A and B are shown apart, each in its own frame.
Chain A
């Protein structure tokens, strides 16, 4: 891929479902990112001890520790509170998006994902966020 806007970025993808994790991972890697994955919130927190991702893509419904709890944990910890988290979920009912934003997620992307739409959406979100702006080449 010639178009690698996320080159040099580390992104953490959290999802319990294998295929979902893979799809997101491949798409992000295709965009040039280095992807770190976790199967639930607990694992994600473990990963964050070593990794400093530019942002996190997290599912909401997961065993052990779901996306909501993860969000709360991240917010409680000063070291992680600044990392932007984007919900990536199959919850597409009215109100889901609002609930996610209220919980502290920077944005909300609904599944299913298709490669081109996902990147367009993601880049638009990143552009809108002040902490991302101008960061990618």
Chain B
């Protein structure tokens, strides 16, 4: 805390001093010379001290003088130095007062007014120096009075800034300490509203010397009979809700002494607003008070010493003899070394060997010209306090600059050092205190910056591993609202605010209950230094309705928390010592004498070996810390924490010290927590469904924020999948539910209620099972417009199914009730008497009330059904179980009725079955209905099978085959389809298949392709006059003519069924079904035959369509083939004569001796032949492309090689025409691409040829680039260009811009058409940009596929 500038102001001072010393030295030299010359004796006594008194006082003290008349103020240079003004500064009274800091200005002014009235002053004030520093100064003023009037004021000013700052910091830190101690709970007593003791803690008992006494229930005034009325008044006030406290109160001790006590008294509340009694906290602070007093006393002593110790100044020459010395130094020297030091003495030999070496070093450094400072620390034997000095060494130089001696200036800095030390101690204490506090406490300065915070504060406010010291509270918690800021401001003005319970919503949305208190702390008696905040999370406790019980729990916990006992085991004599707390924990009597064996026996059998081993280990030096269970003397089983550590003496273990703590509650709590966690886990695992958290961001966006793994069981998707993508969830919704579900989310905002509810189905992704689920959530707004809902996605499939089953069985029951006639009967097994209800008679068709006997009953049951009834009855009688029998009843008309009888045996008190009660139910209708239903089902099933089979028919040949399979159950032998035309009956050729042929291995006997209808009149008639399906006995039926009958008999057929077949609304023929044996189709079977044409009809249509389609395709293929062949022939036939023309011409050109004219002509022949050849190729190409006969190949090729090939091919023709060829290829293009190399080349060739053709000067450019997944080929020229109006025409076939017969440029006009068609074929484009006279640019963009990207490209497609 050294003021940084105090040292800096020294050099100026030291310069003065040094100059003064030099002058003195010179004067003294002159003097001695004069003395020698005039023979005067050496120095008279006291001359040294005289000279020292004339020297200016070199401290940070200056003097001032003020003359009233005229109004003049005089400052010494020191005062100017303190004010940091230039030496030529001339102060006035006003300007001088202006230096005082605003806080001190008033006091200074008042003081000065007072001094002018004759009153002296001595004040500490702050001034702002010329350079703007604010420093503490001490100002003294004394009035000089002459003739009753103040004429002058003499004064002094001292710079005390460094000391002041240290003192200030010290007092602040002490105030912090004082405030914090309040929160250390010491002695606590709880009283009820009649002032009876409900609870006290151990410390309280100890404090009031009441250990061992039972004071619970006793009146406070009975315990403390000396308490006077003033106390009763305080108690009454507290019971009315006030809080009283005293920071320091005298408390008479039993031994007559006085203890200082700090106490606080506050009401506790049984319920809201109902005071249950008082809580008294008190703490004996005698020790601390004494300490503070001691400290104060020490300080006084110290200041006394300091006051007596002024700055020391001395100087020595090169011979280490003292040149000058002032009184304070003489005194100090004497104090420290016990020797009087005088001028001219050799200074070093007085210091002792150690000091001598050190000091010699200092002087030598200074004598070598160094200016420096050291700090020294002395502990004088005769002083109670140590002295710190700051010593400045300055060389003394003579006129030529040689060092003649050392000037030393020593300043006592003991007080500053002490204060600094005390501050460090206090701050360490404070930090330690805060660290050890078990509650959340934080201390702030006036600007709400953290000074200290306890670890609990860090953990409570989720500030792990962050040091907030020095940070603003509002910066750490930006969410703190204005109401809190205002409250803080009020507290900084002195208010204390607290809340016993306050809800606190955390950033994560969770709610905690807090008890908090915010209060100011004082750095000075009336100056708030900042805030102290105390919070405690009481969420768990707040839930308890009874505040009393809460307090009790708190008290008990507090007490138990303190239950730590000590023990000591002496390894030398095996003696075990227990402290009283250890005995308390063991619940033994206070005079219990433990031994090691008996002590270990307290532990439960499982843990006894553990502690025994630990003790063994400890006796060889290994410390232990265990949590174990022991059984107390009272039989309670509790958890304790037991720790031990070994003490050694001369390397040998001598003792084990240990501690024992009752941690039963904690253990129990831990176990409870573990249990409840397990419960939670098992609960969430056992929930038939999943827990979710859904956030709706806006009506169109929602996400699943959380989903438990239960979703997998429901939908076969993992929780992670649905959290990452809601679609994963939506995909598993039943298709019919999706829209409704999404709608329910969309309309969540519009709902009046706050509950979202949805029921629907999920389809399990793996098993395909349909699960019913139900979601029910309470909606909550997140505040930013989003809505969140948590809930459980419940599997209600079982419920749904049960409901469905229930509904079914209910329906059944109702049906039964409606339909069934149920009769009751009673059969006495002893008397064999039978009693029937009316309905029973109805069931048997008998007259109600007629006498029923066993023989009669027996006659009413068919003989074959009776044994079952008798057996059931016997079984029931023996086992006591009910019997159920289906049997018939013979009605009077001889018909039968199906009955279902249930008999319930009834036992008497001995357990013997004596009676049977029962019901009989009419089953006839049900039986009939069941049979009918089964029949219908079978028919439906068959029809379904047939239609399934027919669905697979795509061709006539399949029709009969499939039909045969479908009708297999009817054992049909042959199926034939016949049709009639003008020439006779035709058996459709493809229907020669016989369904059972493969099975029977019978050879197919065909009808022959055609036979005259006239000879087979039966066939003709069923064809001409289609009838409903009928059955014909081939041997007997008169409708059959002899030819037909004979033919079929030859085939071995016995039965025939005709099925007229109508297809597309026309009778087309008849299906004949033939059987080997006499087959009588049932009604159902006939019904199926009747249905067959309807089933076949659409299939026949399909067959026809397919057949037509196939024919068309065949024809098309044929014509395409012809076209291809034609084109191939054309190509061949054109190329053959071209071969002769070009061949001969080229050979002739190579011959020697051909005249130039001929050579030219031959060359023209070749050029024109080339053109003709190109035309042929182009025409063939375009017609093939137009016919869609171009098959693109899709092979890998080297792109670089390909493009290089183009360059090679075109370099020459371009150069020959005198054009420049510019070429550039993208380096990023892949080496290998996939596609039709030849066709791409064709495109490039056409474009480049075109460019050359239309360009007479300038340049041709070929640029091959990559643009994403596209290949871009750009061909530019500087040719004639294409007018805007023609640009859209150039890609048309046979188009050129110049269509006149005299057009200059040859060519077919097919090139660009081919380019465009090929581009389109490859999935690309070609575009042209052109300007007449400037040139054209053709840009071809094709998909760029590489061997790797191929699959990728396809998936995009």
Contacts and interface: CB of A to CB of B under 8 A. Distances in A.
Contacts of A1: 1150
**Residue from A24, A26, A116 having most chain B Cβ neighbours under 10 A:** A26
B1127 A23 contact: no
Contacts of B1132: 61, 89-92
Contacts of B683: none
B1131 A90 contact: yes
B1139 A92 contact: no
A99 B775 CA distance: 70
B1149 A112 contact: no
Contacts of B1128: 91, 93
Interface string B343-375: 000000000000000000000000000000000
Report whether over half of chain B's contact residues are helix, strand or loop; otherwise say mixed.
helix
B1144 A19 contact: yes
Contacts of B1169: 112
A20 B1147 contact: no
B1140 interface: yes
A93 to B, nearest CB: 5
Interface string B586-609: 000000000000000000000000
A19 B1143 contact: yes
Interface residues of B, number: 29
Contact of B1138 (A24, A89, A111, A117): A111
A76 to B, nearest CB: 27
A127 B674 CA distance: 88
Contacts of A117: 1146
A73 B1147 CA distance: 33
Contacts of A114: 1142-1143, 1145-1146, 1166
A113 interface: yes
A90 B1139 contact: yes
Interface string B1117-1153: 0000000000110011111111111111111011000
B487 interface: no
B1147 A23 contact: yes
B1150 A23 contact: no
A23 to B, nearest CB: 3
A112 B1150 contact: no
B1173 interface: yes
5 contacts: A20-B1140, A20-B1143, A22-B1143, A112-B1142, A113-B1142
Interface residues of A, number: 26
Interface in B535-565: none
B569 to A, nearest CB: 102
A110 interface: yes
Given A23-B1144, A112-B1143, A114-B1143, A90 B1135 contact: yes
Contacts of B1141: 112
A113 B1139 CA distance: 6
The 10 A-B pairs of least Cβ separation, nearest first, read A23-B1143, A19-B1140, A90-B1135, A115-B1146, A111-B1139, A114-B1146, A112-B1139, A112-B1138, A112-B1142, A90-B1132
Interface in A86-107: 89-94
A17 B1141 CA distance: 13
Given A90-B1135, A91-B1131, A94-B1190, 4 more contacts: A24-B1143, A90-B1136, A94-B1238, A112-B1139
**Residue from A89, A110, A111 having most chain B Cβ neighbours under 10 A:** A111
Given A30-B1150, A91-B1131, A92-B1131, A23 B1140 contact: yes
A48 interface: no
Contacts of B1142: 112-114
A114 B899 CA distance: 109
Nearest to B1130: A93
A66 B26 CA distance: 141
A17 B1127 contact: no
Given A90-B1131, A92-B1131, A26 B1138 contact: no
B820 to A, nearest CB: 83
A23 B1139 contact: yes
A27 interface: yes
Nearest to A115: B1146
A115 B1131 contact: no
Contacts of B1150: 1, 30, 115-116
B1131 A113 contact: no
Given A90-B1131, A91-B1128, A112-B1173, A17 B1143 contact: no
Contacts of B1180: 93
Contacts of A24: 1143
A27 B1146 CA distance: 9
Interface in B1136-1191: 1136-1147, 1149-1150, 1166, 1169, 1173, 1177, 1180, 1190-1191
Nearest to A93: B1128
B576 to A, nearest CB: 106
A22 B1148 CA distance: 13
Given A23-B1147, A27-B1147, A116-B1146, A110 B1135 contact: yes
Nearest to B1239: A94
Contacts of A113: 1139, 1142-1143, 1146
A18 B1232 CA distance: 45
B537 to A, nearest CB: 86
A27 B1180 CA distance: 29
A92 B1142 CA distance: 16
Nearest to A113: B1143
B1152 to A, nearest CB: 9
B1135 A26 contact: no
Nearest to B1170: A114
Nearest to B1140: A19
A113 B1147 CA distance: 10
Contacts of A90: 1131-1136, 1139
B1130 to A, nearest CB: 10
Contacts of A23: 1139-1140, 1143-1144, 1147
A116 B1147 CA distance: 8
Interface string A1-33: 100000000000000010110111011001000
